[in-house]
């Protein structure tokens, strides 16, 4: 493959496949390979003429010993999707396939993975530590046309969270042509008028690939689904019965708690308490009633255990606009939801119960994070809206680990303005 850099994307999530396929088609200077244990992703890659490999239980096993790190904090084990033995087996298959690719075909220059708090993510971390691979972890930023990209991980495991301001300051001079106050005002106005989030819209899309993945992984592969796939009927039921929970008028004095998806990695891996425990704790701390908004991608049945507090008027279930609730609340409590970021953007008092990237952000940190750290790209766009400048910033985010932080601001600034 000559001097062309090769990027290997480890994919265990359908929408992540769409993003990485779009990236590979838009990037004309690098070679991409997608490694997955989902047949729907493998087929999608073939249709788009993207090199890909499919891992399953019949894949060739390694002749050499592959040490397996602690996988207890992966999504698969935390949700009971895989057993410890299955997770370790999947880990070894991934590592072996990557080493076989390098031995037979080409050197892998970069490893990309979505989220990273999965078995595939642990594979990337293992190879980053053991073989010094340049690795990037991607996540949705929940800000339109922005993604989170970090060389160590996402959420509490990210370099941004661990190093904080010392790391964030490296990006302070890399601003694109963006008027932050104008962006902030438009963002708030859009959020005030928003009816649903992109994740919720995607849940309504029919996806036959789920059936293919379910059948294949049940017979030959590794399960990828959790209780979330069984909650679809509950979501339909929720939409039908939303009105019976909705208060007629927004009360004047209250605190706000935004619910999170029960199997979100933010909740299961970065917090010691769940939605219901958090709500009961807030009731103990507050004299004001607690307005709770269930996550659009969650299940309303999760809150059935709060019927005593609901009947007493201490807890009110609401489906009002999130920003309306943020703006009118006396305080916002959250485990580690992005709503905490939005509340800080509005200058509200926020109390976090879980490990959160945004907890220590002040006004200047928020500005720098939005303007300079997040990368412009539309994760939900079917056309793959990833500007050329963003592709280069993605790779510089990985290269800066070897270039040195003191050079990052100069290099990124040059990329943005050339």
pLDDT of the residue at 414: 43
Dihedral angle sign, alpha carbons of residues 299, 137, 91, 36: positive
SS3 163: helix
14-30 tens-digit pLDDT: 889 999 999 999 999 99
Give 170-187 as a DSSP string.
GGTT---S--HHHHHHHH
Q: What is the pLDDT of residue 236?
A: 41
| Residue 347 pLDDT | 92
How many helical (H) and strand (E) elements, i.e. helices and strands, does the chain have? Answer: 19, 12
Q: In this structure, how many other beta carbons lie within 10 angstroms of the beta carbon of residue 18?
A: 19
pLDDT value of residue 241: 46
Residue 273 is predicted with a pLDDT of 85
Provide the token pair at 317.
Answer: 């279930």
Rounded (5°) CA angle 340-160-6: 120
Q: Vertex 135, ends 130 and 137: CA angle to 5°?
A: 125
Q: Which residues of the chain have pLDDT under 70?
A: 1-2, 173-177, 195-207, 224-248, 263, 300, 382-384, 403-418
| pLDDT at residue 333, rounded to an integer | 97
pLDDT value at position 337? Answer: 85
Under 8 Å between Cβ of 142 and 261:
no
Give Cα separations from 166 to 23, 139, 231, 364 (angstroms): 30, 21, 42, 13
**What structural domains and CATH numbers belong to the chain?**
6-172+374-417 (3.40.50), 182-203+243-368 (3.40.50)
Strand order in the sheet with 51-54: 51-54, 31-36, 6-11, 110-114, 134-140, 146-150, 375-376
Q: Do residues 38 and 82 lie in contact, with contact meaning Cβ atoms separated by under 8 Å?
A: no
pLDDT for the residue numbered 113:
97
d(CA 304, CA 308): 9
Q: What are phi and psi of 404, to 5 degrees?
A: 105, 140
The pLDDT value recorded for residue 409 is 46
State in Å, rounded, how far the first CA of the chain is from the last one: 28
What sign results for the dihedral spanned by CA atoms 80, 265, 148, 132? negative
Edge-first strand order for the sheet with 315-317 is: 315-317, 290-293, 255-258, 332-334, 350-352
pLDDT of residue 202: 52
Q: How many CA atoms lie within 13 A of 307 on its CB side?
A: 3
State the residue for tokens 């008092």: 349
**Model's pTM, two decimal places?**
0.85
Interatomic CA distance for residues 265 and 19, integer angstroms: 20
Give the residues across from 375 on adjacent strands.
147
Provide CB contacts within 8 A for 264, sequence distance 6+.
none
């Amino acid at each position: 493959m000559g001097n062309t850099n090769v990027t290997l994307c480890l994919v265990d999530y359908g929408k992540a496949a769409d993003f990485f396929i779009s990236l590979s088609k838009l990037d004309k200077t690098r070679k991409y390979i997608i490694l997955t244990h989902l047949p729907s992703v493998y087929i999608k890659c073939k249709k788009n003429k993207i090199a890909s490999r499919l891992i399953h239980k019949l894949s060739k096993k390694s002749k050499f010993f592959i040490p397996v790190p602690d996988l207890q904090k992966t999504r698969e084990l935390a949700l009971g999707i895989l057993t410890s033995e299955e997770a370790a087996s999947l880990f070894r298959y991934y590592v072996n396939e990557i080493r076989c690719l390098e031995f037979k075909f080409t050197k892998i220059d970069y490893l990309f993975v979505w989220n990273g708090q999965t078995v595939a993510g642990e594979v990337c971390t293992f190879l980053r530590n053991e073989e010094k691979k340049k690795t990037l972890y991607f996540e949705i930023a929940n800000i339109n046309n922005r993604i989170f990209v970090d060389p160590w991980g996402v959420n509490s495991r990210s370099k941004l969270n661990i190093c904080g301001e010392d790391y964030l300051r490296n990006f302070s001079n890399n601003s694109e042509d963006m008027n932050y106050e104008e962006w902030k005002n438009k963002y708030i106005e859009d959020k005030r008028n928003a009816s649903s989030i992109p994740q919720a819209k995607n849940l309504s899309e029919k996806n036959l690939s789920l059936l293919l993945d379910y059948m294949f992984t049940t017979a030959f592969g590794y399960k990828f689904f959790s209780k979330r796939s069984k909650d679809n009927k509950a979501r339909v039921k929720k939409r039908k019965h939303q009105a019976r929970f909705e208060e007629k008028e927004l009360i004047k004095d209250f605190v706000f708690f935004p619910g999170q998806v029960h199997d979100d990695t933010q909740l299961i891996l970065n917090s010691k308490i769940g939605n219901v425990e958090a709500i009961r704790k807030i009731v103990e701390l507050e004299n004001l009633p607690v307005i709770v908004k269930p996550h659009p991608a969650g299940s309303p049945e999760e809150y059935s255990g709060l019927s005593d507090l609901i009947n007493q008027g201490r807890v009110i279930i609401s489906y009002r606009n999130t920003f309306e609730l943020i703006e009118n609340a006396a305080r916002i409590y959250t485990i580690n939801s992005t709503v905490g970021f939005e509340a800080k953007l509005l200058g509200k008092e926020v109390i976090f119960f879980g490990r959160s990237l945004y907890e220590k952000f002040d006004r200047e940190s928020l500005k720098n994070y939005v303007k300079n750290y997040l990368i412009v790209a539309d994760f939900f766009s079917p056309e793959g809206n990833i500007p050329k400048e963003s592709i280069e910033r993605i790779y510089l985010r990985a290269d800066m680990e070897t270039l040195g932080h003191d050079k990052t601001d100069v290099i990124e600034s040059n990329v943005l303005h050339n």
